[in-house]
Structure 1
Amino acid sequence: MSAAPSLAVLVKGWPRLSETFIAQELVALEQAGLHFDIWSLRHPTDTKRHPLHDRLRGKVHYLPEYLFDEPARLNRARTAARALPGYAEAYKVWRADLRRDGTRNRVRRFGQACVLATELPQETRGLYSHFLHTPSSVARYAAIMRGLPWSFAAHAKDIWTSPEWEKREKLAGPHAAVFGATCTAYGARHLRELADDPARVDLIYHGLDLGRFPAPPARPPRAPGDPLHMLSVGRLVEKKGFDRLIAALALLPEDLNWRWTHIGGGTLHGALEAQAQAAGIAARIDWRGPCDQPEVIAAMRAADLFVLPSRIAADGDRDGLPNVLMEAASQLLPIISTAVAAIPEFIESGTHGLLAGDDPEELSAAIETLARDPARARAMAEAARARLIDDFAMQPGIDRLAARLRTMLGDPAP
């Protein structure tokens, strides 16, 4: 029987089709020799899973998603938590947070932290949470109760929609994270400005494990009269900008034969379908819904152009550097996106793809440009794949992250 893991990894939900980058990282960390279990705040809602999820060996534990779901478990945890050496301090920290964020979600975080702190194996020597907002709050309260170090990975929404006071207190002071990893220079600059020590924040790109992807297809030129097949992969939420893309598609000239395929779920599906119907282009659109990784790769190999029109949502939410752009580059799929957040860290407009403004006229013009100049589109796709291989391979980031986690746990280097 193997020893209990020394690291606990906290995630918001497991498994999730839209968070392939987390699954990729955790599988790679196991391969690097780290031994951990996953603690999830939510049960899965996706009906499919990626092959990556099946490669993870660590055990998955589910905390009470809502406190009223498991009252007996919660009561046991609250009683046991009060006996922990750091409970009084954790309660004090939580009460200060609750005064500034008097929501049910904040109450739920503390209840989940009590369960986590009391159910973690005694051998646990540190916590690592994915996302700076809710999962890191649960990890922080539990770490204080148990007197353990904690760390986090921050990505996009969690950085840009969390209140500044909360980010500052997770990055400075006696209960701050030992370190925080973030996947873009854009996000790292912001978090370093809030930290008591800029070195507390580490820029670690997710990169791409190219071993999971086939060699790119040959991509012969489109035959005359064949439609331009465009593909987008992303949740149907405001920050992905698909409303602007539908408006852009409606502006394409009549002599350009095209089709658009969308992969992903999301709350705006009905509204976007209605928008396409009203624009008279619904017959050219294929809404495929959530797909697993092999289905996504197959769609990329069959497409002519990848379009991701990211923008900043009204609440400040925005992308970081979407891994799906690197996945498209791995398959020599020409890319059109926007100069939002960290996307320019991978795509230099005119070299590795085109970065348009997110207004429909600019998006439409970019699509037409690459549709009518396939040689230029091919050259950009080749440049993006070369940049992916040279600068965005996964392993350097995994090596750095594994080293920081081992240091936090007090483990010797392998």
Structure 2
Amino acid sequence: MTHRLAVVVKGWPRLSETFIAQELVALEAAGHAFDIWSLRRPTDTKTHPLHDRLRARVRYLPEYLHEEPDRVWRARAIAQRLPGYQRAYEIWRADLARDRDRNRIRRFGQACVMAAELPPETRGLYAHFLHTPASVARYAAIMRDLTWGFSAHAKDIWTSPDWEIGEKLAADDTGAAFGATCTAYGAARLRGLADDPSRIDLIYHGLDLSRFPAPPDRAPRTIGAPLRLLSVGRLVEKKGFDRLIAALALLPARIDWTWTHIGGGPLGESLARQAAEAGLTRRIHWRGACDQPQVIEDMRAADLFVLPSRIAADGDRDGLPNVLMEAASQRLPILSTPVAAIPEFIATTVHGTLSDDGPGDLAAAITMLSDNPEQAQRMADAALKRLRSEFAMQPGIDRLSRRLDDLTS
């Protein structure tokens, strides 16, 4: 099959980005053939079952240019003979003047390698994330005189400067032919920065429910029984786990709780230290990164899913975390916060509980849900119903597939 599309990702495979793997597997099923071009090599020691289903070839660009100097210089010589190299170089120099960062230099070097090594039948580039991957895709596309598009998600929307987003959305032959984003919250920001707002599509990731077991037949938890809390998410500021630990320390002694956390991240040591200083170590289980079967098993065993998302100091924030939909797929009651696009799926008191992220507020919400298990289960049932009716994966895949057909036609 002719591979007319190149997909650019930051790293492959990544357990924290299974929504990308879900999408790419579905695009292959829809008839799209592509190679994956990854800016980084994998760091996770485990993979997701979806990664094993993907047939696409993975090509790794030089993660650091000095590690593959012969490849980089050979590619640069080829790239300099391409029709759009000079224009791409001028755009990159203008970007570098406003963003004097070594990473910006690496992006241009990776773009040269990609432009030089793309198969001749390639007609379009599609990047996941609007920041680094889209920069590499944009420079390479300009060099090769190709069209390109992107999917934007969360951090890339809220921490990229307005000037860079605006230029990537420019309604000319250097900007993206289309941009997809997975929340109405993010789409509103991007449309406000675009010359042509119609280029931005709202495409929810949704959930491929065929990948998940049927939900358990949950009876409401018995009041006074042990309360098993579960969270899944990277140990980073925007997930709010520091405030959750502070909240757990405030729970009344009558609640016999345990908390299991799944996921890795740079704040692991400091959060474990915070828990120890609060005297909570024996109640907390740090699982680290886990594969999907383990995550689902823990969801089926838990009583309450907690994701206390917040806006980080640098502006980073969640979009609509897929783990909320995964918890809903198992009829697991949900406690989260009204941050970013979370209310697009969870209407508080209807599909779950959305609390302010202060420790006292979180503790009060956990206590309320512990004391009202029938109400918690009714909301979980409503979340599952909404997931099935409004957040299925296939409508979004169909719309994205049409965009990619246009991109490569």
TM-score by length of 1: 0.98
Q: Distance in 1 between matches of 2:170 and 2:75?
A: 28
Contact 2:222 2:373 in 1 (8 A): no
Q: Distance in 2 between matches of 1:227 and 1:267?
A: 30
Cα deviations by residue, 1:333-382 (Å, 9 ceiling, x for unpaired): 00000000000000000000000000011111111111111100010000
Matching residue's letter, 1:362: D
Q: Which secondary structure state, in structure 2, belongs to the residue aligned with residue 186 of structure 1?
A: helix
Contact 2:220 2:377 in 1 (8 A): no
Q: Distance in 2 between matches of 1:311 and 1:344?
A: 13
Q: Distance in 2 between matches of 1:353 and 1:373?
A: 12
Q: Distance in 1 between matches of 2:34 and 2:116?
A: 17
Which of residues 152, 161, 164 is equivalent to 2:162? 164
Cα deviations by residue, 1:225-266 (Å, 9 ceiling, x for unpaired): 531000000000000000000000000000111000000000
Matching residue's letter, 1:7: L
Q: Which secondary structure state, in structure 2, belongs to the residue aligned with residue 247 of structure 1?
A: helix
Q: Distance in 2 between matches of 1:28 and 1:388?
A: 18
Structure 1 60/156 Cα, relative in aligned 2: closer, same or farther at 3 Å?
same
Does residue 18 of structure 2 align to residue 23 of structure 1? no
Name 2:229's counterpart in structure 1: 230
Name 1:58's counterpart in structure 2: 56
Matching residue's letter, 1:117: A
Name 1:359's counterpart in structure 2: 358
> How much does 1:23 deviate?
0.3
Q: Which secondary structure state, in structure 2, belongs to the residue aligned with residue 273 of structure 1?
A: helix
Which of residues 123, 148, 159 is equivalent to 1:125? 123
Name 1:153's counterpart in structure 2: 151
Matching residue's letter, 1:308: L
Name 1:47's counterpart in structure 2: 45
Q: Distance in 1 between matches of 2:387 and 2:128?
A: 24
Does residue 348 of structure 2 align to residue 349 of structure 1? yes
Which of residues 109, 112, 119 is equivalent to 1:111? 109
Q: Which secondary structure state, in structure 2, belongs to the residue aligned with residue 352 of structure 1?
A: coil
Name 2:273's counterpart in structure 1: 274
Q: Distance in 1 between matches of 2:171 and 2:26?
A: 31
Q: What are the residue-to-residue correspondences of 1:300-311 with 2, within 5 Å?
A: 300-311=299-310
> How much does 1:172 deviate?
1.0
Which of residues 52, 56, 67 is equivalent to 1:69? 67
Matching residue's letter, 1:286: H
Cα deviations by residue, 1:260-310 (Å, 9 ceiling, x for unpaired): 000000000111011111111111000000001111111100100000000
Cα deviations by residue, 1:36-79 (Å, 9 ceiling, x for unpaired): 11000000000000000000001000000000110010010000
Name 1:295's counterpart in structure 2: 294
Contact 2:84 2:144 in 1 (8 A): yes
Does residue 372 of structure 2 align to residue 373 of structure 1? yes
Percent identity over paired residues: 71
Matching residue's letter, 1:81: A
Q: Distance in 2 between matches of 1:357 and 1:396?
A: 32
Matching residue's letter, 2:19: F
Any gaps of 5 or more consecutive residues in structure 1? none
Q: Distance in 2 between matches of 1:223 and 1:106?
A: 56
Count of residue pairs brought into register by the alignment: 408
Matching residue's letter, 1:44: P
Structure 1 224/367 Cα, relative in aligned 2: closer, same or farther at 3 Å?
closer
Q: Distance in 1 between matches of 2:376 and 2:21?
A: 31
Matching residue's letter, 1:236: L
Q: Distance in 1 between matches of 2:171 and 2:98?
A: 18
CA-atom RMSD in angstroms: 0.8
Q: Which range is displaced more, 313-322 or 164-173?
A: 164-173
Q: Distance in 1 between matches of 2:190 and 2:230?
A: 33
Structure 1 185/224 Cα, relative in aligned 2: closer, same or farther at 3 Å?
closer
Cα deviations by residue, 1:154-190 (Å, 9 ceiling, x for unpaired): 0000000001100000001421100000000000000
Q: Which secondary structure state, in structure 2, belongs to the residue aligned with residue 90 of structure 1?
A: helix
> How much does 1:220 deviate?
3.2
Cα deviations by residue, 1:201-223 (Å, 9 ceiling, x for unpaired): 00000000000000011223445
Name 2:328's counterpart in structure 1: 329
Name 1:35's counterpart in structure 2: 33
Q: Distance in 1 between matches of 2:69 and 2:106?
A: 12
Q: Distance in 2 between matches of 1:116 and 1:299?
A: 41
Q: Which secondary structure state, in structure 1, belongs to the residue aligned with residue 8 of structure 2?
A: strand
Matching residue's letter, 2:57: K
Contact 2:7 2:125 in 1 (8 A): yes
Q: Distance in 2 between matches of 1:221 and 1:382?
A: 11
TM-score by length of 2: 0.99
Name 2:257's counterpart in structure 1: 258
Q: What are the residue-to-residue correspondences of 1:81-120 with 2, within 5 Å?
A: 81-120=79-118
Name 1:314's counterpart in structure 2: 313
Q: Distance in 2 between matches of 1:263 and 1:328?
A: 13
Does residue 386 of structure 2 align to residue 387 of structure 1? yes
